[in-house]
């Protein structure tokens, strides 16, 4: 990861998050609350956009569908990537134009395809023959891009094989799309969530370029390259400044694809994660026995009420307390539900003040993505995450 070193120290996260932390310290929250700074979202949008050049940023709505985020992005010319009918509705309600919304879920309900088509959504993702048949039936003549499976091992959270198809099948799907009256216009892929080093894109782009050029050679007029997400957020490990990161990715794309008429990028986490802070509370600190190495710290927020991305300890959040100047020690961190699986970090314990106790405030940084909408409707009777926009 040689590139990372070059960018060390450029991360913009720490200072900017202090506005959120000041707000959190100045208020009392009765239950766990996500505080969102929409100006921070806009700043990040411009930072990414400056690096990506003329690529269109399609915000991955699933990361955080808060109306205030969608409205701001629509107002400054952002485009959107929607996963369902409901997300399309949210984008339209926020002022987005239908032609700026792509329907990027490769697994769509037929009724949702028909809805999208009816309101004017023009671009659909697919990675299977049956999906193309559904699109041809419910959105005749639509543009489709084919999602490819890639070997990507450089992400903090590599993806499963759920989405995408292999290279040989991709060319067959383009032919099938054309036969069905659809317009096979391009390709998409995903480099993997939280890919911190932009150089990790290179081998993935190599794989995509092969199919791209094979498709063009076979007579498909490909003009749309969707480079997906993977743009990182700052969770404590160094990442490049967003503009530098995006510029490096754009450069890697240009080297392999030349002057592609349309490029789409789909940041979610990389656009909104750092714009959110969760204000939570310590409910209990205990040791299970006298010789326990670690304390157990129980919070009023857990895996089922917002912190779902702690699954397999994948995303490691940063915690801030009012005692961080005191002596620290390792803790196992857990949520408030009566569910034994509601443990956030145990394999790699978290360092927290030794004086931490029930009632203490605890702030969790970079929680703007994949928190509020992941929360359960009320598991254990705990309500979903509150959201406050500042």
Should residue 17 be labelled a site residue for a second copy when binding is judged by CB under 8 A? no
Count how many residues are written for the chain: 390
Please give the structure tokens belonging to residue 249: 């990715």
Return the range that interacts with a second copy (CB under 8 A); candidates 33-41, 66-74, 98-106, 248-256. 98-106
Should residue 180 be labelled a site residue for a second copy when binding is judged by CB under 8 A? no
**DSSP state letter for 381:** G
Provide the pairing of β-strand 276-286 with 224-226: unpaired
Beta bridge partners of 387: 34
Q: How many CB atoms lie within 10 A of CB 268?
A: 24
Which positions from 219 through 278 interact with a second copy, judged by CB under 8 A? none
Q: Which is nearer to a second copy, 143 or 165 (CB)?
A: 165
Query: Which residue in the set 82, 92, 146, 191 belongs to the binding site for a second copy (CB under 8 A)?
Result: 82
Q: Which is nearer to a second copy, 165 or 243 (CB)?
A: 165
Q: How far is the CB of 7 from a second copy (least distance, A)?
A: 26
Q: Using N-to-C axis directions, what is the helix angle for 129-138 and 167-179, rounded to 10°? A: 20
Q: Which is nearer to a second copy, 54 or 287 (CB)?
A: 287
Please give the structure tokens belonging to residue 96: 């987005």
Should residue 29 be labelled a site residue for a second copy when binding is judged by CB under 8 A? no
Closest by Cα among 140, 229, 247, 236 to 192: 229
Q: Which is nearer to a second copy, 232 or 336 (CB)?
A: 336
| Residue 327 CA, distance from chain mean position | 34
Should residue 54 be labelled a site residue for a second copy when binding is judged by CB under 8 A? no
Active-site residue list: 338
Which positions from 140 through 159 interact with a second copy, judged by CB under 8 A? 149, 159
Q: Which is nearer to a second copy, 110 or 258 (CB)?
A: 110
Should residue 79 be labelled a site residue for a second copy when binding is judged by CB under 8 A? no
What would the x/- binding string for a second copy be over residues 183 to 222, using CB under 8 A? -------x--x-----------------------------
Return the range that interacts with a second copy (CB under 8 A); candidates 13-21, 160-168, 209-217, 253-261. 160-168
Q: Who contacts 160 (Cβ-Cβ below 8 Å, separation ≥6)?
A: none
Size of the site for a second copy (CB under 8 A): 81
Should residue 27 be labelled a site residue for a second copy when binding is judged by CB under 8 A? no
Return the range that interacts with a second copy (CB under 8 A); candidates 66-74, 236-244, 247-255, 368-376. 368-376
- Output the CA angle 161-113-123, nearest 5 degrees: 75
Which positions from 304 through 333 interact with a second copy, judged by CB under 8 A? 304, 308, 311
Q: How many CB atoms lie within 10 A of CB 30?
A: 8
Return the range that interacts with a second copy (CB under 8 A); candidates 12-20, 36-44, 214-222, 289-297. 289-297
Rg of the Cα trace of the chain? 22
Question: Is residue 5 within a helix (H) or strand (E), and if so which, with residue range?
Answer: helix 2-7
**DSSP state letter for 13:** H
Burial of 341 (0-12, 13-18, 19+ CB in 10 A): exposed
What would the x/- binding string for a second copy be over residues 345 to 364, using CB under 8 A? -x----------xxx-----
Q: How far is the CB of 273 from a second copy (least distance, A)?
A: 15
Which positions from 99 through 128 interact with a second copy, judged by CB under 8 A? 104-111, 127-128
Should residue 165 be labelled a site residue for a second copy when binding is judged by CB under 8 A? yes
Should residue 293 be labelled a site residue for a second copy when binding is judged by CB under 8 A? no
Q: Who contacts 240 (Cβ-Cβ below 8 Å, separation ≥6)?
A: 3, 4, 6, 7, 10, 11, 196, 198, 248
**Alpha-carbon torsion angle 292, 295, 300, 303, nearest 10:** -70
Query: Which residue in the set 10, 16, 119, 283 belongs to the binding site for a second copy (CB under 8 A)?
Result: 283
């Amino acid at each position: 990861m040689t590139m990372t070193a070059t960018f060390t120290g450029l991360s913009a996260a720490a200072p900017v998050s202090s506005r959120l932390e000041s707000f959190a310290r100045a208020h009392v929250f009765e239950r766990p609350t996500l505080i969102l700074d929409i100006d921070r979202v806009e700043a990040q949008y411009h930072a990414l956009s400056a690096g990506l050049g003329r690529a269109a940023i399609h915000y991955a709505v699933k990361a955080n569908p808060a109306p205030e985020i969608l409205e701001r992005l629509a107002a400054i010319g952002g485009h959107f990537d929607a996963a369902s009918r409901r997300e399309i509705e949210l984008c339209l309600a926020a002022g987005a134009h239908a032609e700026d919304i792509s329907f990027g879920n490769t697994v769509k309900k037929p009724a949702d395809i028909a809805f999208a088509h009816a309101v004017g959504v023009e671009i659909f993702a697919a990675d299977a023959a049956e999906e193309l048949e559904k699109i041809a039936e419910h959105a005749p003549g639509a543009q489709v891009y084919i999602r490819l499976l890639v070997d990507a091992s450089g992400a903090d959270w590599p993806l499963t094989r759920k989405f995408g198809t292999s290279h040989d099948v991709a060319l067959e799907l383009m032919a099938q799309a054309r036969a069905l009256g659809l317009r096979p216009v391009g390709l998409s892929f995903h480099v993997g969530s939280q890919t911190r080093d932009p150089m990790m894109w290179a081998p993935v782009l190599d794989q995509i370029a092969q199919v791209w050029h094979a498709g063009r050679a076979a007579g498909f007029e490909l003009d749309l390259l969707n480079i997906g997400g993977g743009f990182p957020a700052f969770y404590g490990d160094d990442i490049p400044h967003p503009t530098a990161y995006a510029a490096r990715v754009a450069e890697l794309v240009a080297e392999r694809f030349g002057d592609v008429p349309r490029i789409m990028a789909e940041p979610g986490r990389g656009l909104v994660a750092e714009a959110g802070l969760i204000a939570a509370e310590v409910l209990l600190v205990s040791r299970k026995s006298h010789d326990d190495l670690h304390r157990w710290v129980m919070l009023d927020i857990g895996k089922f009420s917002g912190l779902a991305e702690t699954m397999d300890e994948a995303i490691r959040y940063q915690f801030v307390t009012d005692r961080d100047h005191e002596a620290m020690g390792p803790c196992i961190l857990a949520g408030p539900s009566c569910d034994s699986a509601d443990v956030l970090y145990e394999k790699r314990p978290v360092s927290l003040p030794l004086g931490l106790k029930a009632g203490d405030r605890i702030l969790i940084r970079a929680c703007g993505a994949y928190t509020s909408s992941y929360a359960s409707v009320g598991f254990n009777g705990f309500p979903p995450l509150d959201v406050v926009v500042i």
